[in-house]
Chains A and B, each alone.
Chain A
Amino acid sequence: MPRLKPVLVRELYASAVALRLDIMSGMVPLSARPLWRPLLGLVAAIPLLAQAPSDLFEKEIRPVLIEKCYGCHSSKLKSPMGGLVLDTKAGLKRGGNGGPVLVAGDPKSSRLLKALTYNETDLRMPPTGKLGDDKIAAFERWIAAGAVDPREEVAAGAPAPAPKKGMDIESGRKWWAFQPVSALPQPKVRGTAFAKQWTKEKIDWFILAKLEQNKLKPSPEADRVTLIQRASLDLTGLRPTYEEVQAFVADKDPKAYDKLIDRLLASPHYGERWGRYWLDVARYGEDNPTSEATNPPYPFAWRYRDWVIEAVNHDVPYDKFVKMQLAADYMPDTPREDLRALGYLGAGPIYHTDLRLSRDVIETLVTDGWDERVDAVGRGLLGLSVGCARCHDHKFDPILSKDYYALAGVFASVVQAPRPLANVDKDLDKQFMLTTQKLFFLSYLANLLNGEPGSKPEEAAKKVTYYTKEMEKLRDSMLFLKESHPEMWTYLNGLARVPVVKPLMPKTAEVVVKPAAAPMPPPVRPANAAAARRGRGGASELPFMHSVVDAGVWVDGSDADLTVLDMRLDQPRDMNILPHANVAAPGAIVKRQFLTVLSTGDSTFTHGSGRIDLADRIFSDSGPLAARVMVNRVWAWHFGKPLVSTPSDFGTQGDKPSHPALLDDLAARFVQNGWSLKWLHREIMLSASYRQASHPRADGNAADPTNKLLWRMNPRRLDVEAYRDNLLNLAGDLDEKPAPLSEELDAAENKHRTVYGRVSRGRLNTVLQLYDFPDPMMSAPQRDLTTSPLQQLFVMNSPFLKDRADSLAKKVESDADNSAKVRDLYRRILGREPTGKELDLALTYLNKGTVGEFAQAILATNEVIFWP
Chain B
Amino acid sequence: MITKKYSRRELVSQLTGGLGAVGLAGMFSEDSWAAAAKAGAGATQKQVPPPQVKFPNFPPKAKANIVLFMVGGPSQLDMFDPKPALLKYQGQRPSSVDLRTERTTGGLLPSPFEFKQYGRGGVHVSSLLPNLASVIDDICVIKSMYTYNPTHTPARSLFHTGNIAATRPSWGSWISYGLGSENKDLPGFVILSPGGGGGGFGRSGFLPARHQGTFFDDSMVEPDKMIRYLQNKDLDKEKQRTQLDLIQALNQEHEQSFGQDEYLEGRIQSMETAYSMQFAATDAFDIRKESEAMRESYGDTPFAHGCLLARRLVERGVRTVHVYYGPGQPWDDHSKINKNLTERCPDMDKASAQLIRDLKQRGLLDSTIVTWGGEFGRTPVSESGDGRDHNPYGFTMWMAGGGVKGGMAYGETDEFGFKSVEKAVSIHDLHATMLNQMGVDHKQLTYRYAGRDFRLTDVYGEVVRDILT
Contacts and interface: CB of A to CB of B under 8 A. Distances in A.
Contacts of A811: none
A679 interface: no
B249 A841 contact: yes
Nearest to A365: B154
A798 interface: yes
Contacts of B255: 862
B106 A455 contact: yes
Contacts of A857: 243, 246-247, 250
A368 B102 contact: no
Name B's interface SS: loop
Contacts of B131: none
B384 A696 contact: no
A459 B104 CA distance: 10
Interface string A831-868: 00001011001100100110001101110111101101
A315 interface: no
Contacts of B164: 364, 368
A797 B232 contact: yes
B250 A838 contact: yes
A454 B103 contact: yes
Nearest to B245: A845
Contacts of B212: 769
Interface residues of B, number: 97
Interface stretch (B27-35, B120-128, B274-282): B274-282
A357 B153 CA distance: 13
B92 to A, nearest CB: 13
A452 B385 CA distance: 12
A509 interface: yes
Interface string B101-119: 0111110000000000000
A794 B166 CA distance: 28
Contacts of B273: 789, 792
A695 B260 CA distance: 8
Nearest to A125: B462
Nearest to A844: B246
Given A388-B452, A769-B209, A786-B210, A862 B150 contact: no
Given A454-B384, A513-B384, A129 B465 contact: yes
A651 interface: yes
Contacts of B259: 695-696
Given A351-B154, A775-B167, A793 B264 contact: no
A794 B232 CA distance: 10
Interface stretch (B37-45, B53-61, B295-303): B37-45
A379 interface: yes
Interface string B212-237: 10100000000000011111111100
Interface stretch (B9-17, B199-207, B343-351, B352-360): B199-207
A743 interface: no
A423 to B, nearest CB: 37
Interface string A364-392: 11001001100100010000010110000
A375 B451 CA distance: 12
B283 interface: no
Given A512-B335, A706-B47, A763-B197, A792 B450 contact: no
B240 A354 contact: no
B153 A717 contact: no
Nearest to B266: A787
A396 B151 contact: no
B296 to A, nearest CB: 32
A561 B228 CA distance: 46
Contacts of A533: none
A354 B102 contact: yes
Nearest to A777: B167
Contacts of B334: 452, 513, 515
B270 A792 contact: yes
A789 B274 contact: yes
B97 to A, nearest CB: 15
B410 interface: no
A452 B103 contact: yes
B385 A510 contact: yes
Contacts of A794: 228-229
A849 to B, nearest CB: 7
A561 B424 CA distance: 28
Nearest to B187: A790
Given A289-B153, A352-B153, A792-B267, 11 more contacts: A290-B200, A292-B153, A511-B385, A653-B452, A786-B210, A787-B266, A802-B234, A835-B253, A853-B243, A857-B246, A865-B267
27 contacts: A121-B426, A128-B463, A289-B153, A290-B166, A351-B166, A356-B102, A368-B165, A372-B165, A388-B451, A509-B382, A511-B384, A715-B258, A762-B200, A763-B200, A777-B203, A784-B208, A786-B209, A792-B270, A795-B271, A797-B232, A797-B278, A802-B233, A838-B250, A849-B242, A853-B235, A853-B239, A862-B255
Interface of B: 1, 42-48, 100, 102-106, 146, 149-151, 153-154, 164-167, 184-185, 187, 197, 199-200, 203-206, 208-210, 212, 214, 227-235, 239-240, 242-244, 246-247, 249-251, 253-255, 258-261, 263-264, 266-268, 270-271, 273-275, 277-278, 334-336, 381-386, 420, 423-424, 426, 448, 450-452, 462-463, 465
Q: Which 8 A-B pairs have the closest CB atoms?
A: A509-B385, A385-B451, A792-B274, A455-B106, A454-B104, A789-B274, A357-B102, A653-B451
